[in-house]
Amino acid sequence: MSDEKFVDPRLQAKEAVFEQLHLSTYDTMTYAHAIIQEVNQSGRDISSSNEHYQQLRRDYEVTRAMAPIADSPLQSFCQRTDDAIQTNKHANASIAQLTAAATNTLNHWRILCEIPEDLREVNAVTKQLKQNYQNHLNAWKHILSEL
């Protein structure tokens, strides 16, 4: 008897997409952490030319454009995020944290949307993913509420 678990071929076909989105989430967290460290060390906000800040902004824009958010609750969160960015009234470090939370939430949303509908309710397939999505969404909501 084999110890291998059956993996639905529809999920296997999307493995590269899932891996890319998970790596993007990891990168996003790395950039956000670097900004937190810089702020903690300097005691000041980061410059708008900070490479990690710029990367988080780019990643958010790309992820937002690629995420299927039409007619979802995420659409209003994206609008509020865009408004916060455009008003230019907030510390760059705060905007970095906002875009990081938004990007991670949107990446998890994209993964969930890629999973075939009949498998989304299977806990063995999506339980951890849904928890991670909710955690990132809660962080995004919290940051928006503080701006």
Structure tokens at 110: 């994209």
CB 32 within 8 A of CB 96: yes
Question: What angle do the packed helices 74-87 and 123-146 form, to 10 degrees?
Answer: 30
Q: What single-letter amino acid sits at 110? A: R
Taking the model in full, what pTM does it have?
A: 0.87
Instruction: Walk along the chain (147 residues) and give the pLDDT tens digit of each residue.
Output: 445 666 777 767 667 777 887 788 889 999 999 999 999 999 999 999 999 999 999 999 999 999 999 888 899 999 999 999 999 899 999 999 999 999 999 999 998 888 888 888 877 777 888 999 999 999 999 999 998
In a domain, 91, yes or no: yes
* Residue 2: φ, ψ to 5°: -90, 145
In a domain, 86, yes or no: yes
In a domain, 82, yes or no: yes
In a domain, 18, yes or no: yes
Number of domains in the chain: 1
- How many angstroms separate the CA atoms of 19 and 49, rounded? 29
**Residue 24 lies in domain:** 11-146
